[in-house]
Amino acid sequence: MTERLDLTTVINASPRKVYAAWLDARAHSAFSGSKATGGARVGDPFSAWDSYILGVHLELEPGRRIVQTWRTSDFPPGSDDSRLQILLVEAAGKTRLTLTQTNIPDGQAEQYRQGWEQFYFAPLAKYFAARPARTGPAAAKARTAKGARANPKAKARPTRGARPKPKAKPRVAKRTRAKPTPSPRTRRRA
């Protein structure tokens, strides 16, 4: 017999950003606090939590849905992988993340429920809280306003479609030609 989990949380980021963080090994490692590896294409294997979690991406809909095979080193020998589905829906500028995990070995669902909440949902919310979401025209204006950069030494990036100004050519002092002194041969005799 197997068990099932259905969990929902709200993350203060766009579905596109949550999707990217979940599938990008660097971002996944950053929010979870433990090593993650793998690609971001259907059929790519992945690992998380220093290979405690292993799986393969089965279906990917950017910014909307992730379906994976999923197992931990705690699964009994010979047990099938569980199936993990993550749905991402935009809700008032945030993301409603719905996680459904099926085919969990009998007696393990509660430990994974706690794990999802403690080691994924809370750190993911904290990860995005440290990266405030800035969207809309007002945020774009603030980003491009003079002095709006957080790091005053950082170079401002041009806005989309903006062309860099051509560099001014250095001014060279104009050389005036001295009139040639006539040679002794070309002097007129007076």
Which CATH number do you get for residue 90?
Answer: 3.30.530.20
Note the pLDDT tens digit of each residue in 76-93: 999 999 999 999 999 999
In-domain check, residue 172: no
- Side chain identity, residue 130: A
For the chain, the farthest-separated pair of C-alpha atoms sits apart, in whole angstroms, at: 126
In-domain check, residue 37: yes
Note the pLDDT tens digit of each residue in 107-119: 999 999 999 999 9
Phi, psi (rounded to 5 degrees) for 149: -75, 140
Q: How far apart are CA 142 and CA 145, in angstroms?
A: 5
Cβ-based neighbours of 31, under 8 Å, separated by 6 or more = 21, 123, 124, 126, 127
pLDDT number for residue 1? 86
| Structure-token pair, residue 29 | 């490692």
Lowest mean pLDDT among 6-10, 35-39, 101-105, 146-150: 146-150
- Side chain identity, residue 152: P
In-domain check, residue 87: yes
For residues 133 and 35, the answer to whether their CB atoms sit within 8 Å is no
- In total, how many domains does the chain have? 1
In-domain check, residue 21: yes
Q: How far apart are CA 189 and CA 119, in angstroms?
A: 104
For residues 48 and 32, the answer to whether their CB atoms sit within 8 Å is yes
Look at residues 59, 66, 63 and name the one whose alpha carbon lies nearest to residue 18: 63
In-domain check, residue 174: no
In-domain check, residue 134: no
In-domain check, residue 154: no
**Domain limits for position 31:** 2-129
Task: Tell me the Cα Rg of the chain.
Answer: 31
Note the pLDDT tens digit of each residue in 28-65: 999 999 999 999 999 999 999 999 999 999 999 999 99
Mean pLDDT of the chain: 82
Positive or negative: CA dihedral 52, 55, 61, 66: negative
Positive or negative: CA dihedral 73, 75, 81, 85: negative
